[in-house]
Amino acid sequence: MGRAFILSCEIWGTAFRVSEIIRDISAKVDEENFKISQFSDSIESICIVVNCHPDENLIRGWGKPRKYISYQKKYADIRLPIPYVEFVSSDYNHQYLMVVKNIVDSIRVIGEKCKKSKKAVFDSEGLIKTFLSKLEISYDSIGDVIGVIPDEKYRELMSEY
């Protein structure tokens, strides 16, 4: 089996800092050796891809949200769009927190989908707690940060075009 925890991004050029932040986060959590087995015996591998594209590219189909879990193959592939305009217009510290919040929200999606399907047990809150502690970031510091375009807003954007 490959790595258990994979972080990546799909970005528009002007959102290049997402890539830099992902590299920093990956190093801090020791992505190569980060284990998730203590949080689930049903999910062995997680891939989280932070998407950051302008609305017009989202409308064209770039950076679509993906919330996929293969219970048979025991992996999750989560790709959630981060608000582009807010990201590129923010300072580095806020951008960093936006990416962290995107990853946290992605982990929660896995927990919610597993709970709803009853096909897997996944302690998303335990994983989030461990993830944030490795980054030395508190829940409170990301509480009001928006790291993902809400599903309703995404659907509204797509229905306009």
Chain segment 38-82, per-residue pLDDT in tens = 999 899 999 999 999 999 998 888 888 999 999 999 999 999 999
Q: What is the residue type of 26?
A: S
Quote the number of domains for the chain.
Answer: 1
Q: Are 5 and 34 in contact (CB under 8 A)?
A: yes
CA distances from 16 to 8, 51, 145, 147, 159 (A): 12, 11, 20, 16, 28
State the residue range of the domain holding 21: 5-159
Q: Which residues on adjacent β-strands are paired with residue 79?
A: 49, 66
Q: Which long-range contacts (CB under 8 A, 24 or more apart) does 70-73 make?
A: 71/42, 71/117, 71/119, 71/120
pTM for the complete prediction? 0.95
